[in-house]
Structure 1
Amino acid sequence: MNTSKISWKQGLVIALGVPMLILPNIGYFAGYVGVFSIIVWILSIGQGFLQNIAYGDFALMYPEARGLPGYVQAIFKGKDTKDYDINKFIGGFSAWGYWMAWNPVLAIFSLLIGTYLHGMIPALGNVSEKTISVVAGAVIFTVLIVINRKGLSGGAKAGNVLAVVALIPLIVLSIAPIVTGQFQLSNITAVSLFPETWSWDATHILILLGIMAMAQWSACAWETAAVYAPDYQNPKKDLPKALFSCGLICLVTFVLVQTACIGTLGIQGILEEPYSPMLLMAKISFGNAGAVITLVMLMASMILIIQTALLGSAQAMQSMSVEGNLPKVLSETNQYGTPVKAMILVAVFNLGLIFIGTPAAIVAGSAVGYVIANGITLFAYFKAKGNQKILAPKWWKFIGLGCCILNIPLYLAGIFYINTLDYGLGAALIGILVLFLFVPFWLYAKKEHNQEMIIECQNVEIEVD
């Protein structure tokens, strides 16, 4: 049992890397929905407030469970917690989707770090970006495992420094063009809200649903502040503070960054540098030297979001293992209550993703898992809420149900369509394949459970004889 306790500010720190998740999507959203991409972030974070209030309520309803995966598994257990029935499978499957959503963040930002290093350091010009990304990922993952091996408190304290650095490049680079006069409001107000080719037919509605699903993957991810509810010093008071503080910070940063990029570069300017518009803004505002400084700060920010993903993914795997939905070895913790083995497995898996994937393709597959996890978790909340009034009023369960329907089937259809549209049917099917890899792992856990039951029965018979 982890005895370390964290304050709501430390819980906020763990989730403060979330605003960095806007980086892979600035140009992608602008290309599809133009100026409306600003409104997408407002809508998505508004959705995040609705969902995360439900998740915070869930956390207080089940203080002994470990995060969102734990809450779902606590609900979907069936009549007998030892039975491997459809209820147990649903709970584990939702937890796996949540793991699938957070886990690839390590690979995504390691690839981005490798790309930036390759472009900014001339000495690395002859080294492939993939090699740089793998080396960078291996070093970062190892250091973070060492830092966090003594529990959440140590990891959060180490993140205090990074948390300050994380928001500086996003805020400074967004405000600088406004101060220097390079921000042009006409780039936003003098153009159509949507691209000229946009029409409200079934195809474009599916695209918008896919965009909203990807926005949710970025802008609603601050529910990580609720994952550590059992570790707060005063959960009922600290959890709401952490959730609302992080939500407000995300609202400001997501909207500010997208607005600043469009106002400074214009839609066409963003599309010319879809993967690095912030670096282009750094050069415009501060020159090449400023761009180098910004790169260092951005990489520090990326390390923070990697830490957030590493902690969340490892705890999700531990929770699934404790509930009997993954092999038992992943439930083991060290003397500080930290699931180090799960953390190592997450790191190794992401090194493999770095070898075979690209940031855009990994984000596309990751969003599928997040939609599944949100949909099932929100339905579990609706099922569990009843007439309880803890953090949210009892009627909030209908808000949860509405968000559930938004995720499944609407967002799910949209994200599958946009994945197919951008990366082909094969890429979309790979994401689904990873999602359903849970099945053989679950069957193996079931086998372990059955073997334990046989041994237990044999021991009872021996004692009787």
Structure 2
Amino acid sequence: MEELNKETPAKRKLGLFDAAMLVMGSMIGSGIFIVSADVMRNLGSGYWLIVVWVITGIMTVAAAISYGELASIYPKAGGQYTYLKEIFGKMMGFLYGWGLFAVIQTGTIAAVAVAFGKFTSYLIPSLNDAAPIFQSGGYKITWIQILAIGVILLLSYINTKGVESGKWMQNIFTGSKIIALIGLIILGFLLVKNNFWSENMSFGWSAFKNLKADASGNFLKSGWESISGMAIMGGIAAAMVGSVFSSVAWENVTFVSGEIENPKKNIVRSMVLGTTAVVILYLLVNFIYLNTLSRDGIAFATNDRVAVEASQQIFGNGIGTIIMAILVMVSTFGCVNGLVFAGGRVFQTMAKDGMFFKAAIHNNKNGVPAKSLWMQCIWASVLCLSGQYGNLLDMISFVIVLFYMITVFGVIYLRFKQPNLERPYKTWLYPVTPIIYLVIGAAFCGLLLIYKQQYTWPGLIIVSLGIPIYYIIKKKEQQL
């Protein structure tokens, strides 16, 4: 106990602006620059591309508004883990925390860090051209993966130096990418020479089509085939996998509740302001894609890097590629920082509950959970080397939405279970707002279960592996 008393406690150093920057910085990574290509291949129309992003935006803001009520009731570090544990019990909290450490948080850190490395290779081609450091069969370790690990190590180290260090890093990089995105949006309308907006929107609502590929994997521009019935809904759900994953991680701000000033008000404000701003930015960026590129230009963008193609149309081939590479580097670097900064607080809270390694409990002299941050760093680095983070993340959007749904349902459940509980903030338009999220989320998950099982069962298996681990931990607790 004496050792616990000596540790430096966390201090509330994050204001509303800092919290909003964390929300936005954690959301905007590499997804918005890539996933619209896959959405267009699934749907084939500018109208449906916008519909997918609008539905995703409605989901995101509705969830943030609902989470605000729980944040005001439980203004503690750990955020979503704490909400699930307090409402549904330790096992539900542990399963979320287990999934977060196994792949949700760490896998996202790895994927975004590797994206940083890949776009760096645009500016330093030798990174792409260099021979692998190690190769055995289909497995290899490249310099891009090493650079990604270096970024994770650097940002983990910076965040062990105190909340102020992580805060300023987050504010600078998030502010930079927001300004850059706004600039890209404005110039995308002013400088573009060939305007494709009318062409992309001329397909109308009836042009719901799916792009096929030949046996060699080459895209067939004549291979668009009309789809009807329930398959339309399945196509929308499949297209939303990327947009949903590009719009998660806003809840990271709840992980650091213990370090936010006036958390009962500022957490909900930061979530609503941050998610709304990002949703608007995402829509405007997609308007730029539709304005600067043809339908085929979006769907067939090289390596799905639709933002690079758009930037080349705006600024020219050479400078456009460089500008976009720098923008994505700034975006991904700031996103990794936000994820690293927030994630360690959840694992520390789990450790205090006996649900994680005991070493993660303590703060260092700077008042931050350094050992928890390093554990997160090590596993994220392992996932970088594994090369499997991308596959895991494709499969985890389903599980992320499931946990969102359970948490949003917790708002309704608590209203019935504990109606007299103090609620400094109450969900706007309750119960309409949480029901909107639950309906859309249920449709998304249900359609994936029917049409795209490869996006569902692997994530469920990863989370389910936490069940025996939970009972092992519980048994050890009983033996003490």
Q: TM-score, normalised by structure 2?
A: 0.82
The alpha carbon displacement at 1:223 in A equals 3.0
Give the 3 Å change call, closer, same or farther, for CA 53–98 of structure 1 in structure 2: farther
- The letter of the residue matching 2:144 is S
1:14 and 2:26 equivalent?
no
Query: Does the 8 Å CA contact 1:2/1:151 hold for their aligned counterparts?
Result: no
The answer to which of 35-44 and 138-147 deviates more is 35-44
Deviations 1:122-166 (A, max 9, x none): 333133495123211221111111111134333111222111222
Find 1:95's aligned residue among 87, 94, 97: 97
Question: What does 1:355-434 align with in structure 2 at a 5 Å threshold?
Answer: 355-357=385-387, 360-386=390-416, 387=419, 389-392=423-426, 396-397=430-431, 399-407=433-441, 409-416=442-449, 419-420=452-453, 425=454, 429-434=457-462
Larger relative helix fraction: 1
1:300 and 2:342 equivalent?
no
> Which residue does 1:262 correspond to in 2?
290
Find 2:314's aligned residue among 285, 300, 308: 285
Question: What does 1:182-331 align with in structure 2 at a 5 Å threshold?
Answer: 182=193, 183-193=195-205, 194-196=207-209, 197-273=225-301, 275-287=304-316, 288-331=318-361
Query: Does the 8 Å CA contact 1:106/1:306 hold for their aligned counterparts?
Result: yes
Give the 3 Å change call, closer, same or farther, for CA 300–116 of structure 1 in structure 2: same
Give the distance between the partners of 1:348 and 1:380, measured in 2 at CA. Answer: 33
The alpha carbon displacement at 1:250 in A equals 0.8
| Ranges in structure 1 where 5+ consecutive residues have no aligned partner | 78-87, 453-465
- The letter of the residue matching 1:343 is L
Deviations 1:383-436 (A, max 9, x none): 2234355322597256425533543x433233455654xxxx5x7544333222
What SS does the aligned partner of 1:384 have?
Answer: helix
> Which residue does 1:180 correspond to in 2?
191
The alpha carbon displacement at 1:329 in A equals 3.4
Query: Does the 8 Å CA contact 1:60/1:235 hold for their aligned counterparts?
Result: yes
The alpha carbon displacement at 1:448 in A equals 3.5
Give the 3 Å change call, closer, same or farther, for CA 284–432 of structure 1 in structure 2: same
1:67 and 2:79 equivalent?
yes
What SS does the aligned partner of 1:127 have?
Answer: coil
Give the distance between the partners of 2:260 and 2:382, measured in 1 at CA. Answer: 34
Give the distance between the partners of 1:75 and 1:248, measured in 2 at CA. Answer: 27
- The letter of the residue matching 1:434 is I
What SS does the aligned partner of 2:35 have?
Answer: helix
1:142 and 2:153 equivalent?
yes
Find 2:36's aligned residue among 10, 21, 26: 26
The alpha carbon displacement at 1:65 in A equals 5.0
Give the distance between the partners of 1:418 and 1:152, measured in 2 at CA. Answer: 44
Give the distance between the partners of 2:271 and 2:445, measured in 1 at CA. Answer: 25
Deviations 1:106-129 (A, max 9, x none): 121222223223344233313349
| Ranges in structure 2 where 5+ consecutive residues have no aligned partner | 1-8, 133-139, 210-224
Query: Does the 8 Å CA contact 2:361/2:369 hold for their aligned counterparts?
Result: yes
Give the 3 Å change call, closer, same or farther, for CA 277–209 of structure 1 in structure 2: closer
Deviations 1:13-40 (A, max 9, x none): 2122213342341211111123212122
Give the distance between the partners of 1:189 and 1:10, measured in 2 at CA. Answer: 39
Give the distance between the partners of 1:19 and 1:352, measured in 2 at CA. Answer: 23
Query: Does the 8 Å CA contact 1:69/1:98 hold for their aligned counterparts?
Result: no
Give the 3 Å change call, closer, same or farther, for CA 5–188 of structure 1 in structure 2: same
Aligned residues: 436
Give the 3 Å change call, closer, same or farther, for CA 198–312 of structure 1 in structure 2: farther
Give the distance between the partners of 1:362 and 1:233, measured in 2 at CA. Answer: 35
- Percentage of matched positions with identical amino acids: 19
> Which residue does 1:52 correspond to in 2?
64
Query: Does the 8 Å CA contact 1:116/1:295 hold for their aligned counterparts?
Result: yes
CA RMSD of aligned residues (A): 2.7
The alpha carbon displacement at 1:216 in A equals 2.9
Query: Does the 8 Å CA contact 1:222/1:243 hold for their aligned counterparts?
Result: yes
- The letter of the residue matching 2:172 is V
The alpha carbon displacement at 1:382 in A equals 1.9
The alpha carbon displacement at 1:233 in A equals 1.6
> Which residue does 1:163 correspond to in 2?
174
The alpha carbon displacement at 1:188 in A equals 2.9
Q: TM-score, normalised by structure 1?
A: 0.84
The answer to which of 128-137 and 146-155 deviates more is 128-137
Give the distance between the partners of 2:265 and 2:243, measured in 1 at CA. Answer: 29
Query: Does the 8 Å CA contact 2:364/2:370 hold for their aligned counterparts?
Result: yes
Query: Does the 8 Å CA contact 1:229/1:235 hold for their aligned counterparts?
Result: yes
The alpha carbon displacement at 1:71 in A equals 1.2
1:446 and 2:471 equivalent?
no
Deviations 1:213-245 (A, max 9, x none): 543332254233344333222223423431232
- The letter of the residue matching 1:46 is I
Give the 3 Å change call, closer, same or farther, for CA 24–365 of structure 1 in structure 2: farther
Give the distance between the partners of 1:352 and 1:119, measured in 2 at CA. Answer: 25
Give the 3 Å change call, closer, same or farther, for CA 432–24 of structure 1 in structure 2: farther
Give the 3 Å change call, closer, same or farther, for CA 170–132 of structure 1 in structure 2: farther
Question: What does 1:104-115 align with in structure 2 at a 5 Å threshold?
Answer: 104-115=107-118
Deviations 1:71-127 (A, max 9, x none): 1111223xxxxxxxxxx2123223334554333111212222232233442333133
